[in-house]
Amino acid sequence: MAIQTQYFLLLSAAVFCIGVYGILTRRNALVFLMSVELMLNAANINLVAFSFHHGNLTGQVFSLFTMALAAAEVAIGIGIVLVLYRNFEDIDVTKAATMRW
């Protein structure tokens, strides 16, 4: 008894909506990063679900590439958060209009 594809798609849509909500309503840079990660994970759920549905491994391979992209995004994002905190002593993205001193 396998779980049907539409349940994975509903889960993916819910996770993606939570990520969009986090980006649109929060000002904290770390919450932005976590919200983008949620959106990328929702895309991964879709890729793996359709890969399983069609019986090939293409979606799973693309999912691995998306995970590598997410790891690179976190590395760059943490650097940006550290610069924000060092220059403005806060990680609120609305306070930083420019990255100059």
pLDDT digits (tens, 9 = 90+) for 28-47: 888 999 999 999 999 999 99
By residue count, the chain amounts to 101
Q: What is the pLDDT of residue 39?
A: 96
pLDDT digits (tens, 9 = 90+) for 59-99: 999 999 999 999 999 999 899 888 888 888 888 877 777 65
Residue type, 39: M
Token code pair at residue 99: 């990255």
Phi/psi at 35 (nearest 5 deg)? -70, -40
Q: Which domains does the chain have, with CATH numbers?
A: 5-88 (1.10.287.3510)
Residue 22 near residue 35, CB atoms below 8 Å = yes
Confidence of residue 100 (pLDDT cuts 50, 70, 90): low
- Distance CA(32)–CA(99), nearest Å, equals 18
